[in-house]
Structures are given as structure tokens and as C-alpha cells.
Amino acid sequence: MKARWLVFLILVLSLPIHAATVKRLDMDGLVTTAQTIVVGQVTSSHTYWTSDGRLILTRHTIEVDETLKGVSSGTVEVTTIGGTIGDQTLYVSGMPAFGDGERTVLFLESTGRYRTVVGLGQGKFSIDGGLVSNEVSELKFADGRRGRPMRLRLDEFKDDIRRRLRR
């Protein structure tokens, strides 16, 4: 698993600054790849340096309202690459961003000691006014086409996930 996380970091850090190239995942791909799918609310974020001082990571705590796949406790911690510490900022294009208090549906996988969002921004859906949407405009896919954000009613989205899980 450590090797998988290291490969992920190397790939992300070697990408052009303007767009992250990732594998395009449809809903089946998101549902299949995710070890855990949760609905919840961001309660806190903590930005820190890795132990070797080479990378800035941010750990987000999500209070789980509902688990659609896998097992989760009352909270999950999700790690993203990037953040700001003092006057140092690391920004990774396509990496999902979280706001305090934000409600979200997350497709998560474990990569070594970290829990991350599947497919960068593809696996993070913000909830607003009963609708879910994801932000994929900064992602560039191997087929050369840009990402198209999804926007659905939350209840339909959760029903679709459950239907795919029953197959």
C-alpha cells in the first residue's frame, strides 16, 4: 500500500500545473473503486507537513450522516495533497477542496495510511439545496476530453448508488 500511495504522489506531483490527468471514472467506476461511500459534513481541516518536510497535506474530518458502502464510524478522516502553511502553499490541480461546514457525498479509498477521495475531484460531490454536484473542470482525462460535472437530486443520486451496489 505504501508503494501505491508513493506512486500516486509521484504522478500527481509530476503533472502539469494547469490540469491533472487522471483516469475517467463513470458512476460504475466510482462505486466499484470506492471502499467506502459516505454522506456527511466537514467539521474541521488540519494542514501539516509530512514527516520529511517535503509535502503539505490536509486532513479533513467528516461527520458521517449516512454510509452507503463499506463501514464507517461517526467520523472519517480524508487526506488531500496541498494546503497553506505560513507563506508556503502547495496547490494540486484537480484535488478536491473542502469548506468548513460543507455537506458532501464522498467516494473514498485507503492508500496506505491515508484515506483519499477516488479519482481526485471525481469522487467528491457537494450537497447544496438537495442537489449534488462535483467539480471536475480542472481535470484532464487520458482521452483528451475535459471533465463534465454531474448535477443530480441527492435522493436520486443515493438511489442510483444503492442500485449499482445491488448488482
As a whole number of angstroms, the distance between CA 117 and CA 111 comes to 10
What is the pLDDT at residue 57?
97
Examine the pLDDT at 10 and tell me if it is beyond 50.
Answer: no
Give the per-residue pLDDT at 111: 86
Residue 8 pLDDT greater than 60, yes or no: no
Instruction: List helix spans (H) across 14-153.
Output: 27-33
3-class secondary structure, 73: coil
pLDDT in tens, 25-67: 999 999 999 999 999 999 999 999 999 999 999 999 999 999 9
**Over residues 72-81, mean pLDDT:** 93
pLDDT score recorded for residue 117: 96
Percent of the chain whose pLDDT exceeds 90: 69
pLDDT band at 14 (very low <50, low <70, confident <90, very high): very low
User: Predicted confidence band at 107 (pLDDT cuts at 50, 70, 90)?
Assistant: very high
Phi, psi of 150 (to 5 degrees): -100, 150
The answer on pLDDT for 157 being more than 80 is yes
- Tell me the residue type at 98: F
pLDDT score of 84 more than 90: yes
Question: Contact at 8 Å (CB) between 27 and 115?
Answer: no
From the number of C-beta atoms within 10 Å of its C-beta (0-12, 13-18, 19+), residue 73 rates as: exposed
Domains of the chain by start residue, with CATH: 2-166 (2.40.50)
Task: Report the half-sphere exposure of 159 (CA within 13 A, side-chain side).
Answer: 5
